[in-house]
Structure 1
Amino acid sequence: MTKPLDTIPVRRGEELNLVKLRTFLQKNVEDLPDESLEVLQFSAGHSNLTYQLKVGEWEAVLRRPPLGPVAPKAHDMEREFKIISEIQPLFSPAPRPILFSDDESIVGAPFFLMERKRGVVIDSSFPDGVEAPPEICNQLSHIMVENLVNLHSIDYTKTGLIAISKPEGFLERQVHGWISRYQRAKTDELKEAEHVMKWLAEHIPTQKYATVIHYDYKFNNAMFNDDLNQMVGLFDWEMTTVGDPLADLGVALSYWNQPDDPELLRSGLGSSAITVMDGFISRKEFIELYGEKSGRDVTDMNFYMTFAYFKLAAIVQQIYYRYKMGQTQDERFSQFNSYVKSLMTHSSHTVAI
């Protein structure tokens, strides 16, 4: 099967100092081959910078924060490294951690290394050579539900996550925290945003559950085996914490486009999610299947979906703010303000699930 080309030459302005990095690896990685360092960049993602490192037969993935100023407590590489260190033994799709460094002289920021997994990554389309009839799309839908349920079944009290988490009051902190983040990064006045922020603050439900949550669960953060019947990788654990699993479900579904979604909602990040293809289950079916497999009450999902679209809008707004302020030159972000408006408009109505 042809594998997707998930790496590209390093983007201009995001290069690494290969001499410093090679010296660091020589000192800190056992049995590193005596060969030159090759670096490529992963093309997906709009936040942290992620690179493939290769020295002979040795491979790893390096993650560091984005260029320019970052929001307080955001892009915490040490925290993400600790999270995957705790979760990987209990949830095999998580990558194996290798090392963390806070020496900013190496790549310009704190960073960590993790294993380089191999498999099929699905974004807005299937890779060339991959057959995906409707029954495969349905199968992938069920795999996504099952792995989310499995992640939420981890007993976090038996892991080190209990020391860096505070599940009590999670929803209140999230709602007010993301409202604050959006307001700090605001570049345009949107009446829809004001309406959504007021509604969310007044309708926070009582939190019933606390589990490990990924909080950025979507297809292009996952990797599957060649037969597309098993998830073999799940990445981008930056937002992971212990919190309300229904908030995690809502975030996952905010990326789960349907054919009847507004065009800008489907194509705001460049192209529609793969889930618009025949065979993928609807958001409503995803919710019902999750409720059935997890045993959790999903009757409040309208709130969680509304919050998820607002949270996604706030994240996109933060990225657009960095572009607007000249902190990044990546032209992919130049029209993100239109996507923010579309997300705010969508979340300002009663969300159809």
Structure 2
Amino acid sequence: MSEFTLTQDSRESDKLPIEDLAHYLTDKMPEFIQSKQLHIKQFSAGASNLTYQLTSSENSVILRRPPSGTKAASAHDMVREYNVIKNVGAFYSLSPKPLLLCEDESVIGEKFFIMEQIIGLGIDKNLPIEMSNEQQLKLCKNFVIGLSQLHNIDINSKELSHLGKPEGYVERQLEGWQKRFTKAKTDDVGSSEKIYQWLSSHLPKNSGYQSLVHNDYKFDNLILDPDKPENIKGVLDWEMTTLGDPLLDLGCTLAYWVNADDDAGMQAIRMMPTHLAGMMTRQQVFEYYCSLRKIESFDLAPYYVFGLFRLAVIAQQIYYRFYHGQTDNPKFSKFGQLVNILLNKAEQEIA
């Protein structure tokens, strides 16, 4: 009989070996699990790395681990993500505090890390609570401010300078995402070749700007203040953070931003409430970003098209796992359609 009181609310295929984890935490984080109780709840949001809330008595922390099955190693490097938030935290107050890194795969079958839980409201396809148009606009402004602040951090510090190689970043990104799409392609999705060729000749190889790039900065990676939901308390999911071109980071952010006047296909795959009356449009986000960073306006189209292309590849990598039976998460069953809509939108933008 276990010495612990253990409960778990996770998808069957994603369940953690809870007793092994409880013993490990007793050794490594005794202050957290001193009550001998552990409850695990898997968060349904997110389609890449898996996220769980661990609760013992009144204490809660977050565990992050890679998914099962074939996966892109660079997108699921727990050691790197742990070190990123550890180093970025000294310069960016919205990143979560890391608590523990486990590189021993015998504990739960994968490397994992534990970080603080930032208490607040999350955003998904809808706002978590009703917000006025004025609050929506303020949230958008704070969102863009958060991105611009990240891009303004001095990357020459010893804590950050090793996180990536900004020289040649754009070329590596374009080539890398095309290779990933080719590797993960299934018969029921379209081709990316036309988009790739257009980007090869239109996407600036060097914008003249270098910065820390989050690479997944979007509404559903935010934690909002419950009392003032237009204010941001935290930014999550730092797994793809590196040093690179901030304008490419902006384009990737805008790929998720569906305007109210976008076509039915884009409305169907909308993941965040950017269509609401009080929200900024993509163009307004772009203009506000340029004003905050005091940079001259530039042709956004290649960066936005790249963002759509990259998002299509990310979705295809996830769909590949579902297509080949490596995950049973039903929400991934429609990701092939998502890929085709994104590819079609990118082709419309370059027509």
TM-score, with length taken from structure 2? 0.93
Separation of aligned partners in 2, 1:280 and 1:351: 25
Q: Percent identity?
A: 38
Q: Which residue of 2 aligns with 1:29?
A: 29
* Post-superposition CA distance 1:138-173 (Å, at most 9, x none): 111101011111111111211422123100000000
* Post-superposition CA distance 1:8-58 (Å, at most 9, x none): 931121111111101110111142323211110112101111000011232
Q: Which residue of 1 aligns with 2:289?
A: 290
Separation of aligned partners in 1, 2:225 and 2:74: 34
1:261 deviation in Å? 1.3
Q: Which residue of 1 aligns with 2:263?
A: 262
Query: Which residues of 2 match residues 196-215 of structure 1 at below 5 A?
Result: 196-205=195-204, 206-215=206-215
Would you say the 8 A contact 2:256–2:271 is kept in 1? no
Amino acid at match of 1:236: D
| 2:90 is the counterpart of 1:89 | yes
* Post-superposition CA distance 1:233-271 (Å, at most 9, x none): 110001100110011111111111111112222322xx5
Q: More deviation in 333-342 or 312-321?
A: 333-342
1:336 deviation in Å? 1.0
SS at match of 2:42: strand
Any unmatched runs of 5+ in structure 1?
1-7
Separation of aligned partners in 1, 2:38 and 2:18: 7
Q: Which residue of 2 aligns with 1:166?
A: 165
Would you say the 8 A contact 1:266–1:273 is kept in 2? no
1:272 deviation in Å? 4.8
Separation of aligned partners in 2, 1:98 and 1:272: 30
Would you say the 8 A contact 1:192–1:345 is kept in 2? no
Query: Which residues of 2 match residues 91-110 of structure 1 at below 5 A?
Result: 91-110=92-111
Q: Which residue of 2 aligns with 1:3?
A: none
* Post-superposition CA distance 1:165-185 (Å, at most 9, x none): 100000000001001000100
Separation of aligned partners in 2, 1:147 and 1:111: 27
Q: Which residue of 1 aligns with 2:144?
A: 145
Amino acid at match of 2:20: K
SS at match of 1:39: strand
Separation of aligned partners in 1, 2:350 and 2:274: 18
Q: CA RMSD in A?
A: 1.6
SS at match of 1:162: coil
Would you say the 8 A contact 1:172–1:204 is kept in 2? no
Q: Which residue of 2 aligns with 1:5?
A: none
Query: Which residues of 2 match residues 183-194 of structure 1 at below 5 A?
Result: 183-188=182-187, 193-194=192-193
Separation of aligned partners in 1, 2:47 and 2:213: 21
Q: Which residue of 1 aligns with 2:3?
A: none
Separation of aligned partners in 1, 2:30 and 2:160: 28
Would you say the 8 A contact 2:53–2:63 is kept in 1? yes
Q: Which residue of 2 aligns with 1:179?
A: 178
1:95 deviation in Å? 0.3
Q: Which residue of 2 aligns with 1:4?
A: none
Separation of aligned partners in 1, 2:183 and 2:90: 38
Q: Which residue of 1 aligns with 2:12?
A: 12
1:325 deviation in Å? 0.8
SS at match of 2:85: helix
Amino acid at match of 2:210: A
Separation of aligned partners in 2, 1:191 and 1:47: 22
Would you say the 8 A contact 1:99–1:114 is kept in 2? yes
Shift in CA distance, 13/189, structure 1 to aligned 2, threshold 3 Å: closer
Question: How many correspondences in the alignment?
Answer: 341
Moved over 3 A (4+): 189-192
Separation of aligned partners in 2, 1:351 and 1:286: 21
Q: Which residue of 2 aligns with 1:221?
A: 221
Separation of aligned partners in 2, 1:293 and 1:344: 31
Any unmatched runs of 5+ in structure 2?
1-7
Q: Which residue of 2 aligns with 1:278?
A: 277
TM-score, with length taken from structure 1? 0.93
Shift in CA distance, 351/256, structure 1 to aligned 2, threshold 3 Å: farther
Separation of aligned partners in 1, 2:252 and 2:284: 15
